[in-house]
Amino acid sequence: MIQYLIQVLAFQLLFLLAYDLFLKKETFFNWNRVYLIFSSLISFVLPFIKIESFQNAVPQEYIVLLPEIVLTPEKTVEVIAPSWNWYVIIGIVVSSSLFIYKITQLIQLKLKGIIVHKGDHKIIKIPNSSVAFSIFNYVFIGNNISEEKLQNILSHELVHVREKHSIDLLYFELLRILCWFNPLVYIYQKRISEVHEYIADASVAKENNKSDYYEKLLAEVFQTQHFSFTNQFFKHSLIKKRIIMLTKQKSRQILKLKYLVLVPVLILSLFYTSNATNIADIEYTIESVDPGDKDAKLKSLYKRLNELNQNLKDDEYFTRMQYDEVVKLMTEISKLVDKDGEFAKEYKLQSYEDYLNIRKKRIAEGGNYSELQSDPIEFKVIDKAPVFPGCESSGTLEELKDCFILSIQKHVNKNFDMKMAGKLELGEEVQKIYAKFIIDKNGAVTDMNVRAPHPDLETEVERILLMLPKLAPGEKDGKPVSIKYLLPIAFKIH
């Protein structure tokens, strides 16, 4: 859920930046209204959209995100509960209470006034007041406003009524309640409120002398009532902007092409969502690999090597040119592996004939070069999870996974040196450690990468991971595979 909300915020920020940079100053007010509503809505949908072609465009590695372990002096095993849930619920309750309070004030104001029916709308005259605002088909007007000024105000507010601007404002008010922690929702509501006023001003100015209208607008000072979901005729913060937009020359139609900015913004958003996984769905995340990264290069080299191997049906037709390409590929792989292991020893080719003999041996064994590949794969596509000693009796993939997680938690809690951590003077706030590691095809822990607030903590976690017993490796299609894990650890020194 947290990752989903972060994505929504990121998309809304992107859409708002595009609006402020390219669209805000144009006089296409109704188009801007549609843009603001559409972009705020689509931001909640985009994280669920996955386009396969975009996924294939970026090399991916798969990481199993293990539940976070909380270390305590008592060494108890605990998985952190999502405490943010309570903050969200409390925030929604408080926001809802404020909304109900505003509604109550509005009802009291309505009861205080005199209702005058005018066709499909109602005018509520408020005694001893200079308020001027509308909501749905109700127009609130203070009795202190003179008759000569009343017509322009009514004309303005009736535009809000006809255009159903209150629905927009209530939509954003609902978002403010549900997403009270999202500051961008407040900006969206402010932007849509500005657009509403521009639409109403432009409509009234068509029927009146534009200069007279904005001069009256500048001269009038009305009493205001703070309702964020109503259309206020007079807002100090908006008067200057409204006058500027009234006097602004109408934007040329060709400038509507600016709305095409939405296309690259949507493509970027879809590209991101197609290469990310929502943590709330399952305990797995997908990380994009930098094309310049060593792992990505290895993946590309292995892919080409396997293509060559699979395409060659008969050794007799394996050409010298193909052999030279294989040698080149394997040389590059050896450089990246950067060690003289079994791969380098077995495939340090001396001649074309050596290669043919090795290849014949591989084919006879029913294997190919893909067996040499050590890239981790996605946990949920494997047939058998790594088996922690003592978990052999677990049956299903899910049961093996649960047993593995619990065993890791117990191992870390049992062996972590809390006394050492207490001497590091890290402060009383919660400390976070993130450990990446691979359970390779031999069931051993490799490629550890630990990030912690202190180097001693990184060393400690590496020590604990190296103490893990040898596991039975995970399997796919009956063959052992490597799986990468991400283990979050948290603790607090009291």
pLDDT tens across 419-470, in order? Answer: 888 888 787 778 889 898 888 888 888 888 898 888 889 999 999 998 998 8
DSSP track, 357-406: HHHHHHHHTT--GGGG------GGG-SB--B-TT-TT--SHHHHHHHHHH
**Cβ atoms within 10 Å of 225's Cβ, excluding its own:** 18
DSSP track, 225-256: ---TTSEES--HHHHHHHHHHHHSPPPPGGGG
* Structure confidence by residue, pLDDT tens digits, 326-341: 667 666 666 665 444 4
CA 54, 56, 57, 59 dihedral sign is: positive
> And the tokens for 225?
């009532």
Residue 306 has pLDDT above 60, yes or no: yes
Could you tell me if 272 and 265 are in contact, meaning their C-beta atoms sit under 8 angstroms apart?
A: no
User: C-alpha distances in angstroms, 136 versus 122, 254, 294, 361?
Assistant: 10, 34, 61, 81
Q: What is the phi/psi pair of residue 116, to 5°?
A: -120, 120
pLDDT-based confidence at residue 159 (cuts at 50, 70, 90): very high
Residue carrying structure tokens 């900015």 = 261
* Structure confidence by residue, pLDDT tens digits, 175-227: 999 999 999 999 999 999 999 989 988 888 887 766 666 556 555 544 455 56
Could you tell me if 222 and 144 are in contact, meaning their C-beta atoms sit under 8 angstroms apart?
A: no
User: C-alpha distances in angstroms, 273 versus 21, 56, 182, 279, 324?
Assistant: 24, 13, 20, 12, 41
Residue 315 has pLDDT above 70, yes or no: no
User: C-alpha distances in angstroms, 438 versus 346, 415, 465?
Assistant: 24, 20, 10
Per-residue pLDDT, 92? 92
Q: What is the mean pLDDT of residues 129-145?
A: 89
CA–CA gap between residue 138 and residue 117 (Å, rounded): 10
Could you tell me if 178 and 186 are in contact, meaning their C-beta atoms sit under 8 angstroms apart?
A: no
Q: How far apart are the first and last CA of the chain?
A: 30
Residue 365 has pLDDT above 70, yes or no: no
Of the listed ranges 18-27, 245-254, 267-276, 346-355, the least confidently predicted one is: 346-355
Return the percent helix, strand and coil in the chain, to nearest 5.
55, 15, 30
Q: What is the phi/psi pair of residue 49, to 5°?
A: -90, 125
Could you tell me if 37 and 264 are in contact, meaning their C-beta atoms sit under 8 angstroms apart?
A: no
Average pLDDT, the chain: 75
pLDDT-based confidence at residue 261 (cuts at 50, 70, 90): confident
SS3 426: coil
Per-residue pLDDT, 283? 31
Q: What is the mean pLDDT of residues 117-129?
A: 90
pLDDT-based confidence at residue 345 (cuts at 50, 70, 90): very low
> And the tokens for 382?
């494997």
Residues found in the chain: 494
pTM: 0.53
Of the listed ranges 36-40, 45-49, 95-99, the least confidently predicted one is: 45-49
CA–CA gap between residue 488 and residue 494 (Å, rounded): 20
SS3 414: helix
> And the tokens for 29?
């007010």
User: C-alpha distances in angstroms, 252 versus 27, 145, 255, 257, 431?
Assistant: 9, 38, 6, 10, 56
Residue carrying structure tokens 């296409």 = 28
Of the listed ranges 271-275, 280-284, 334-338, 367-371, the least confidently predicted one is: 280-284
Q: What is the mean pLDDT of residues 145-161?
A: 85
Q: Among residues 214, 173, 167, which one has the least CA distance to residue 190?
A: 173
> And the tokens for 369?
């070069």
Residue carrying structure tokens 């930046």 = 17
Domain positions in the chain are 2-274, 294-372, 379-491
Percent of the chain beyond pLDDT 90? Answer: 25
Residue type, 371: E
Per-residue pLDDT, 442? 86
**Cβ atoms within 10 Å of 316's Cβ, excluding its own:** 7
Per DSSP, what are the bridge partners of residue 432?
490
Q: What is the mean pLDDT of residues 25-40?
A: 93
Q: What is the phi/psi pair of residue 368, to 5°?
A: -155, -175
CA–CA gap between residue 493 and residue 453 (Å, rounded): 13
Per-residue pLDDT, 54? 56
CA 149, 151, 155, 158 dihedral sign is: positive
CA–CA gap between residue 49 and residue 51 (Å, rounded): 7
Residue type, 225: Q
